[in-house]
Chains A and B, each alone.
Chain A
């Protein structure tokens, strides 16, 4: 069966450390993978996208890796801050061509950064 899995348990880390969140999938062949941030009571906000032929993408303190062999993406936040506390969602973009591309979301991982 097709699955996309993120750590269901909350990730608690100390301020200043690097947070690493995992997104694993089975039986999908995504063209792209996206990461979103969602704060309580708010809609998700796009953070980063990585293509299937890219190994790594960076944006400020964020880094995403994408291993299509392992079927896994890792999302890193370096020098984490309490303001980074939120739920982070990964989403697979399945390429069916143009507007019929399909987005499959994971359930998200709650990150709590302790001061």
Chain B
């Protein structure tokens, strides 16, 4: 099993450009989420989804959109990139309601906005 797959691993954008970070999981997990990780700060939740067609905001949702059309995929869209969105982004998945279990993380996508 591949687990959680994120693409691209690295991306450089100019301010104002848009892009989509892709996330796919093959574990049939209902819960998927996006985090950003910045130096000196813990992982912060951007958006999450508890199943196809259901999404909700996390702690830092501004500037990001998500959708969940299938169980497997959960793309993160940056509509108009800003330098403050320079970060490492992680997608994570888990079984819904199984909070005694673990989050499975992807390898991360490093985004630089110039």
Contacts and interface: CB of A to CB of B under 8 A. Distances in A.
Contacts of B106: 43
Contact of A104 (B4, B31, B42, B99): B42
Interface size class of A (residues with CB under 8 A): 20 to 34
Interface residues of B, number: 25
A26 interface: no
Prevailing SS type, chain B contact patch: loop
A105 to B, nearest CB: 4
B107 A42 contact: yes
Contacts of B44: 105
A98 B96 contact: yes
A103 B45 contact: yes
B53 interface: no
Contact of A99 (B4, B50, B100, B104): B50
A34 interface: yes
A4 B43 CA distance: 12
A42 B4 CA distance: 12
Interface string A71-111: 00000000000000000010101010011011111111000
A28 interface: no
Nearest to A107: B42
Given A44-B90, A105-B43, A107-B40, A98 B97 contact: yes
Interface in B36-58: 40-45, 50
B108 interface: yes
